Homo-oligomer: A and B are copies of this chain.
């Protein structure tokens, strides 16, 4: 059933039928690089669902989009880089509102049909007129071509080194997606924005459940530095243009495939990264416990610097697992790094030098021996480049 289409021309949000996209340089970024994207669902269906940051300090576009998503429908998403529009008060909210109004006017829909996503520096107002002129221009540039999807993926990049697109093709229908970011890429720009599209027929209720199931095991399992943005947003729109109605499970599987692919791309592209690490926890009392242990190990600064130093320091991993808020029996703890069992039953099992961490990919396996709960968290090392990227530039 699952078929990956790898040609760049076939990837992304415009592969599913019923979607058009545009991406261009509106002049929000002083660098003149692309900074505005528009994704439109031409239907026939306008089902949509979204997941937003749980940060209590929410950017204006998040507050706006949460409101419009209460209807479970959406016709378009406007996304901009070059400014987060967070901590900007009523003026910032008015900018988000005006952006939706402009897009709605251009598309002949209501402002309530338009979601907004922003990414960039926190605390600065967006240049409203520049933004609105950009929306007008983008509406005139909409296309269903692969190039248009790629242009949208490119316009939401901050310090990403490459645009990120993914696609899952099924019999008669498909699901696509674009994304930007991951904590390590850049400070307050750390925001993760993603738009997924599908031409499957799905009610907003089914779409909502399928999206949550997909996000839970993909974006929510990517943890670069533990920081949670004010702007994180994942939106899915279903056009129904294929006429195919997959089961909820089939839909969730396709969205999961796309979201996992995008999460892997974010992990790989995080700037300052020299190692990509997968923290796999098995034998936990529950899946929740497995996630907590894996996340705690993934976030531990001492573990992350050891990964950077190619040091198979299992003691730091055992210590991090030990302070995770989850059930753990220190006498049943096994730690395996890149296939070499270094700690068994909480005690050294082999010379740590036996594990070779010189490559770019590192697999850390923590077995708790308590139950059947398991989970993986994707993370990265903590490198000099991370410190440089996040300290040398005011961002």
List the interface of chain A (C-beta within 8 A of B).
54-58, 84, 86-89, 121-124, 183, 187-188, 190, 225-230, 299-302, 305-306, 308-309, 311, 313-316, 318-323, 328, 330, 333, 343, 345-348, 352, 382-384, 386-388, 390-395
Contact = CB atoms under 8 A, between A and B. Distances in A.
A188 B348 contact: no
B87 A348 contact: yes
Query: What are the 10 tightest A-B residue pairs by CB atom distance, in nearest-first order?
Result: A122-B315, A57-B322, A309-B391, A305-B390, A228-B323, A89-B347, A55-B322, A305-B391, A225-B301, A123-B315
B387 A383 contact: yes
Contacts of A346: 57, 87, 89
Copies in the complex: 2
Contacts of A316: 122, 187-188, 227
A56 B328 contact: yes
B384 A384 contact: yes
A175 to B, nearest CB: 29
Contacts of A57: 318-319, 321-323, 328, 330, 333, 346
10 contacts: A87-B315, A87-B330, A123-B352, A188-B313, A188-B315, A227-B316, A230-B319, A302-B390, A305-B391, A382-B391
A302 B123 contact: no
A88 B347 contact: yes
A230 B318 CA distance: 9
A230 B188 contact: no
Contact of A311 (B308, B320, B383, B391): B391
Nearest to A86: B315
Question: Which residue of A300, A316, A386 has the most chain B CB atoms within 10 A of its CB atom?
Answer: A316
Given A88-B348, A228-B319, A311-B394, 7 more contacts: A123-B347, A226-B300, A230-B322, A305-B386, A309-B392, A313-B395, A383-B387
Question: Which residue of A227, A299, A321, A391 has the most chain B CB atoms within 10 A of its CB atom?
Answer: A391
